[in-house]
């Protein structure tokens, strides 16, 4: 029994429990790890690239469908001529494949951008935006409070200065209303 008490005291002295206390402040609210410079540059370049690729995919798809709709009746009328049919078929297949490749490339770049942003900030873009707005409102409130206190102090100092000035003019000259009523 005595040995057990002795080891318990020994362990308490060797390994004291550290107590954590809350420090507070903006450092605990802000994310610890932000996006790196290369990630930001990649995001900035991928947004226009992905958008332009998606736009090109849509334009090529629309052009391919229009050309196919216009050329199909011509193909039916001139069916004995197989060379134009082969050209039309090759053009349609090429258009669909190109449109699909541009579309997949654009969507995959946006997907990479979204995942990279989520990994860099630890949250999705909407949550990050909400948190940023919330922090901005908190900072604006604190700044407004500080400015209000400063304006209050300046007003108080100005009022005291006016009182002091009025006391010096009224007490020394005796030429005011009160001075004339006393005599």
Lowest mean pLDDT among 139-148, 151-160, 166-175: 166-175
Q: At what angle do helices 125-173 and 82-121 cross, to 10 degrees?
A: 50
Single pTM value for the model = 0.36
pLDDT in tens, 89-142: 899 999 999 999 999 998 898 888 888 877 877 776 677 778 888 888 888 888
For 11, counting Cβ atoms within 10 Å of its Cβ (0-12 exposed, 13-18 middle, 19+ buried), the class is exposed
Mean pLDDT for all residues in the chain: 76
Are 64 and 96 within 8 A, CB to CB? yes
């Amino acid at each position: 029994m005595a040995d057990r008490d002795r080891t318990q005291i020994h362990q308490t002295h060797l390994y004291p429990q550290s107590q954590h206390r809350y420090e507070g402040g903006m450092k605990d609210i802000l994310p610890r790890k932000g996006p790196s410079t290369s990630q930001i540059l990649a995001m900035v370049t991928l947004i226009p690239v992905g958008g332009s690729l998606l736009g090109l995919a849509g334009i090529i798809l629309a052009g391919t469908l229009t050309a196919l709709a216009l050329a199909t009746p011509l193909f039916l009328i001139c069916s004995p001529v197989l060379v134009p049919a082969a050209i039309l078929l090759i053009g349609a297949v090429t258009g669909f494949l190109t449109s699909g490749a541009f579309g997949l490339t654009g969507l995959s770049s946006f997907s990479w951008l979204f995942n990279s942003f989520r990994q860099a900030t630890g949250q999705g873009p909407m949550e990050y935006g909400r948190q940023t707005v919330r922090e901005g409102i908190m900072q604006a409130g604190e700044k407004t409070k500080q400015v209000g206190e400063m304006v209050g102090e300046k007003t108080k100092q100005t009022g005291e200065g006016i009182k002091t000035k009025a006391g010096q003019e009224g007490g020394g000259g005796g030429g005011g209303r009160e001075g004339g009523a006393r005599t």
